[in-house]
Homo-oligomer: A and B are copies of this chain.
């Protein structure tokens, strides 16, 4: 016997979320059945609100409920940290040491997937370079991320602005024994003096 249609439909919806299989989706759906009416109403409202209220910041391309996001409104615009996705802003800003603004590309250059420079949020980056002292490239240290960083660096250098890249090396709490050779090589290249 199959499940009631509306449960099966909800399971399918949950299974469309990243990393959720049918078994997990089923647990989620059964949890929803156990929720109170107001909990489910809240959940629906939260889903609908995110879709209707969230759009891209006119300056940096990050998610915001306003015309311009809080970070672009309040922080130092002379340093721009360029990232591939909104989730990278969250990760980088958690530490709280960076006081500048971000710029979200919404992807990386990927010839294989047919993503070129025009598909990324690059033009608006060039437009906001006035008065900028440094652009930090914070794309992932993989082939696409490196290529994207190199491409944008070439675009920006003619403006006479310093372009930097996040340091590469061994992670906090990691084990040198198990680090890969490229990471160790970069950690050696980028070694700093102990004072």
Binding site for B on A (CB under 8 A): 1-7, 9-10, 12-13, 16-19, 24, 26-33, 35, 37, 39-44, 46-51, 53-54, 63-65, 69-71, 74-75, 86-87, 90, 93
Contacts and interface: CB of A to CB of B under 8 A. Distances in A.
B19 A63 contact: no
Secondary structure at the A interface, as helix, strand, loop or mixed, is helix
* Total copies of this chain within the assembly: 2
Contact of A6 (B12, B29, B44, B53): B53
**From A24, A47, A86, residue with most partner B Cβ within 10 Å:** A47
Contacts of A74: 1
24 contacts: A1-B69, A1-B74, A1-B93, A3-B63, A4-B54, A4-B65, A6-B46, A6-B50, A6-B53, A10-B47, A13-B47, A16-B31, A16-B39, A18-B28, A19-B24, A19-B27, A27-B87, A32-B47, A32-B50, A32-B51, A33-B50, A37-B51, A40-B50, A44-B47
